[in-house]
Amino acid sequence: EPAEKEQPPKEWNKGVIIPVEGTILPMLGSYLDRKLQQAQELQANLIVLKIDSPGGSLETTLEIAEKLRDLSWAYTVAYVPREALSGAAIISLACDDIVMDPDAKLGDAGPVFAGRDALFRHAPEKIRSHLARQVRDLAAAKGRPPALAEAMVDLNLVVYRVTHQETGEIRFMSQAEIDSADKPELWEKGPPVLESREGSFLEVNGTRAVELQLANATVENE
């Protein structure tokens, strides 16, 4: 089958590390654009984004994430030594691989906006459902469980560990995904993923992220 678009290279001879630190603001988007352009001019084919961020602007986050998802001239790795929360988690999901310190944190990407009283409120349903669709697409594009990505932005989504009764394949799916599967009766529903319980945005450490197929590996250092 011809690939729809050029796939990033799997063997690398030149890598660059780009720190992505602090709050995600439009300036960070411009900085990342410059750094990626420099990396391309250097003919780098491995990009390691060293992400340590509590998140930030939703608009900038999605612009960066889409750019990384579609980047085809290099293989992208999100390296999370400490935390990639909120928008930073979404940016991590857009990379080909995610590697984390065992105790680093990933997730909790529920959209919030400041109310008139300057307290943060959860964003309206329209924004939430749009974002849920976008993070599902990001996760699916990189082979990660879409339901777990969605649980990062949906306060009440419960995700189950399910096993295919014929193949033994293990997946993480929401009830809606199980119901809409080809043969729902073949997916045996196990326990819910604790971190996806109602009333909380999914947040996991590095060790757990690997167990849940969200991250590829844990590493002790750079």
Mean pLDDT of all residues in 150-158: 93
Tell me, what's the pLDDT at 2? 41
Tell me: pLDDT of 24 over 70: yes
3-state secondary structure 194-210: HHHCCCCCCEEEHHHHH
* pLDDT tens, position by position, 47-101: 999 999 999 999 999 999 999 999 999 999 999 999 999 999 999 999 999 999 9
Which of 133, 79, 87 minimizes the C-alpha distance to 107? 87
DSSP string, 15-75: EEEEEEES-B-HHHHHHHHHHHHHHHHTT--EEEEEEEB--B-HHHHHHHHHHHHT--SSE
CB 148 within 8 A of CB 203: no
Dihedral angle of Cα 146, 152, 156, 161, to the nearest 10 degrees: 50
Given the DSSP bridges, would you call strands 15-21 and 120-122 parallel, antiparallel or unpaired? unpaired
CA 207 – CA 144 distance, rounded (Å): 16
- How does the average pLDDT of the chain come out, rounded? 91
At residue 187, φ and ψ (nearest 5 deg) are -90, 110
